[in-house]
Structure 1
Amino acid sequence: MSFDHSGHGGGLRMGRRGLLRWGLAGAGAVAAPGLLAGCASPASPSGSSSLRVWDLFSGGDGVLMDEMLETATSGADAFSVDRTILEWGPSYYTKLAMAAAGGRAPEVAVLHLSRLAGYAPGGLLDPFDLDVLAEFGVGEEHFAPAIWERAKWDGEVYAIPLDTHPFIVFYDKEIADQAGLLDSEGELAPIGSPDRMLAASEALASAQNGTGVLFGHVGDQAQCWRLFNGLYAQTGAKWVLPDGGEPEVDVDAAVRVITFMTELFDGDRNPNHLDYAGAMAAFQGSRGAMIFSGEWELPNLRSTGRPLGAAPFPTIFDQPAVNADSHAYVLPRQSRVDEARRREAHRFVATMLKASYTWASAGHIPAYEPVIADERYAELDPQASYAGASEVAVLDPPNWFTGSGSNFQNQMTQPMQSALLGNMSPERAVEQMVSASASMLDQPNPVA
């Protein structure tokens, strides 16, 4: 099977103006020195150099990635991997874009799936060969449809998800039990409506003798959007951002969601003024019974010793939906593709997916579903309790300016912060969100 050396759709489509934009944005890109794993491993098939892999995992995630790489770089079929860790955020995405634009990118890189629309259409990535992946035991049938569909662009698969990391709820099991919110199996019972969620928060506060639900949003660039995006999808509405068009938004649904957010975090039954660290500290200090947060906080929250439960974000409106994103492997565009190394890149991705039980210990839901089906995963507590979130995952609306770490999330979040703090009506917040979306649609795509 041959690979298209020029990239999908005739190769890179970036004008000088766009390249200069990336260059100016990339001035702040910072690369941390990576590790060279598998020094005694066999050479890659095309020569002595290692398979180059870029990712953005540091801290606890970085340690787990080290463990997975140790598995991949040992044994008879080991890889020689040159891993580079770069600073997470806009600098990572700028550096990746510039490397691909210059044809000097690594063989494999990690990308948030919500950022795919900013890379695949402009020829910065090459599609995966699904036949080659199938040879290594990875296929569409191994992924939740909600995530797999977002890995596609123009009918081809440009990303292979490693995980799903959803926005969920953590709670104190003993307090939730006292509040009558657990089912017969000791898990969080369905909520089902805004009124029932408000009642649940009051019951939690009463059992806690303090605060029911915690949510840290002040000064954060994404938290309000994470909460809103899942709830808005629960209404059945979509926030559509068509290239060259106007935002397609169900304003009534959006107002309904933000109104509910202000009612839940009214500063009385639940605080409305917490920043991210403050909310985490309050839960860790037993000053709240439940917290809305990302599953990535599991290691921190489990360290408190509280009887910790977790669940997919409750269905409060009309249908299940959970805000999420996915770390995914991509094949950055290279000016010349060595087909043997490209094949090794496919094998590397398949190997890492199969090793992702290790990744689950941090809280992430493995995207490769055979790992979830393994009986060992069912014993992970509380990870197994929210594994179903991947089936109803909702990512950012696809466009070049959306996704994790984007200015879009920040622009959406700011008006909602004002609404939660009582400084703006829900109607005005939605008006500003739609206006900001329209302004971003008017901006030229830097890779078009």
Structure 2
Amino acid sequence: MDARESRLVTSGARAAPGVSRRNFLLGVGAMGSAAALGLTSCGTPLAGASEQTDVAFWHLLTGPDGQILTTMLQQFMSENPNIAVDQTALEWGAPYYTKLAMASVGGRAPDLAVMHVTRLYGYAPGGLLDTWDLDLLEELGVGADQFPERVWDKGLYSGELKAVNLDMHPFVLYFNTEVAEQIGQLGEDNMLTGIDTPEGFKETARAMAEVTGRHGLAYGFLNDPSNMWRMFYTWYRQMAPAIELPEGGPMVIDKDAALRTLEWIVSLLDDEIASSSNDGGTAIAEFATGDAGMFMGGVWEIASYRDQGLPFSMQMIPALFGDPVAYCDSHSFVLPHQSTPDPEQRRAVHELIAGLLQRSLQWAEAGHIPVYLPVLESDEYAELEPQSNYAEAANYAVYDPEAYFTGSGADFHNYFGENLQGVYTGAVPPERGLQGFIDQINQLLAKPSPL
């Protein structure tokens, strides 16, 4: 979903002490097969129990996320020596999703995979995903009542559970606590005050710009269509219902609300409140160096800002135009289709994801909101700052419109950027950019779905 996940950091597979020669050779054979597909096996060692159920696990999580996941897997295997997990990390984006689809079609699917839940409609309709066993999940302590309703329901397709969400990672507001204190808007709860109206938000940003000497808000969009869409859909959904993309078309969109959204965004990009020409990296650096008092971005930047010693906190983007909205995606667990799945492996996979959900407090370290309620509502999570400051976002989750071409790493965001970047820079009237986007999507909808 973002540049954070595109930095692939892997290490070679290694056998744990005590692993049998047969299991080691099987692991080497698996590495050879993975190499043929361009995959890289991460450093989760195979456990050495004499009778094990092996679980092949594909994901696209690297960097800090990959390290945390590896720790969670190792802890799970140490407590469940009858299950050995062989994790394989692939390059983020189109390469991952293409290989996952090919593996499901070609009979080489792993037992378990991670998928952005917004990609569900590109896989479930074509039979590329199997259904989770609700009874077995319930036996293991995983069910609809242990998740925020919006997040659980997002994993359903045609009434069947196709994805179990591990988290939600929303688009949020970061702010410099020292700058907020200097302008007198740091609340007793360490939250930014005075930003609950459009006028108040702009006044706050201008006051912060006077302190920083540059901008009040750091926001990057240039050549970053996903970030353009994140901001647009956040404000739009405060004003209007979800955009719908029915097969055959046309797009269902409130054009008046969309135009008001675009006009609002352009009004922020005035080179005082925010730069009219920032890309993603420049905006991230602008906030890190104290040249902006606020920053809008994904929760995954939390680790780098903390490592730099930046005085900052985080909260949901304010509801300026209606109900609160947390535009997001979720890392979810899916069962790539297997024609004859092994019952023991399937049970082991269900046990594995239950174990990872129960350990998801660790996952929150990277900024993600753990959506398993026993963790989300725990005292331990409440003590995490600034993560717990935006925990309520789980109740206001808003995802991409549902279509085979939407979701993280798909082309939908690119279509938006191709038509709307000129609007953001002020070179194209909002009406023309919006209509170009609508026309392009309607052309896609008018064609038969490839699924």
Distance 1:382 1:327 in 2: 21
Contact 1:38 1:74 in 2 (8 A): no
Pairwise CA distance, 1:34: 3.1
Pairwise CA distance, 1:236: 2.6
Pairwise CA distance, 1:142: 1.1
2:28 corresponding residue in structure 1: none
User: Which whole-Å deviations, capped at 9, do the CAs of 1:23-78 have from their partners, x for residues lacking one?
Assistant: xxxxx974223334343245434xxxx21100001111111111111111102555
User: Which whole-Å deviations, capped at 9, do the CAs of 1:362-409 have from their partners, x for residues lacking one?
Assistant: 111111121122212111111111111111011100111100011101
1:404 to 404, 408, 422: 408
Give the letter for the 1:33 counterpart.
S
Distance 2:161 2:194 in 1: 35
Give the letter for the 1:44 counterpart.
Q
2:120 corresponding residue in structure 1: 116
1:101 to 99, 105, 112: 105
1:226 corresponding residue in structure 2: 230
Distance 2:359 2:49 in 1: 18
Contact 1:114 1:326 in 2 (8 A): yes
Matched, 1:353 2:357: yes
Give the letter for the 1:133 counterpart.
L
Bigger Cα displacement from structure 2, 53-62 vs 433-442: 433-442
Q: 1:220 to 1:41 in 2, by over 3 A?
A: farther
2:299 corresponding residue in structure 1: 295
Give the letter for the 1:87 counterpart.
E
Q: 1:132 to 1:266 in 2, by over 3 A?
A: same
Distance 1:134 1:94 in 2: 32
1:172 corresponding residue in structure 2: 176
Q: 1:178 to 1:36 in 2, by over 3 A?
A: closer
Secondary structure class of the residue paired with 1:39 = coil
Q: Which runs of 4+ in 1 moved over 4 A?
A: none
1:386 corresponding residue in structure 2: 390
Pairwise CA distance, 1:330: 0.4
Secondary structure class of the residue paired with 1:324 = strand
Distance 2:371 2:365 in 1: 14
Q: 1:407 to 1:137 in 2, by over 3 A?
A: same
Considering Cα pairs closer than 8 Å and 6+ residues apart, tell me whether 1 or 2 has the greater RCO: 1
Alignment of 1:23-422 (within 5 A): 30-41=38-49, 43-45=51-53, 50-76=54-80, 78-189=82-193, 191-422=195-426
Pairwise CA distance, 1:267: 2.1
Distance 1:116 1:440 in 2: 18
Distance 1:76 1:116 in 2: 30
User: Which whole-Å deviations, capped at 9, do the CAs of 1:266-325 have from their partners, x for residues lacking one?
Assistant: 223321101111111111111111110000111111122121110112112111111100
2:23 corresponding residue in structure 1: none
Distance 2:60 2:340 in 1: 25
Give the letter for the 1:69 counterpart.
L
Distance 1:76 1:113 in 2: 27
Contact 1:125 1:331 in 2 (8 A): yes
Query: Any gaps of 5 or more consecutive residues in structure 2?
Result: 1-35
Q: 1:133 to 1:272 in 2, by over 3 A?
A: same
Secondary structure class of the residue paired with 1:73 = helix
Give the letter for the 2:310 counterpart.
R
1:9 corresponding residue in structure 2: none
Pairwise CA distance, 1:258: 0.7
Pairwise CA distance, 1:229: 1.1
Secondary structure class of the residue paired with 1:111 = strand
Contact 1:38 1:70 in 2 (8 A): no
Contact 1:162 1:353 in 2 (8 A): yes
TM-score, with structure 1 as normaliser: 0.89
Distance 1:249 1:43 in 2: 56
Pairwise CA distance, 1:170: 0.8
1:10 corresponding residue in structure 2: none
Query: Any gaps of 5 or more consecutive residues in structure 1?
Result: 1-27
1:21 corresponding residue in structure 2: none
* Alignment length (residue pairs): 416
Distance 1:42 1:177 in 2: 60
CA RMSD of aligned residues (A): 1.7
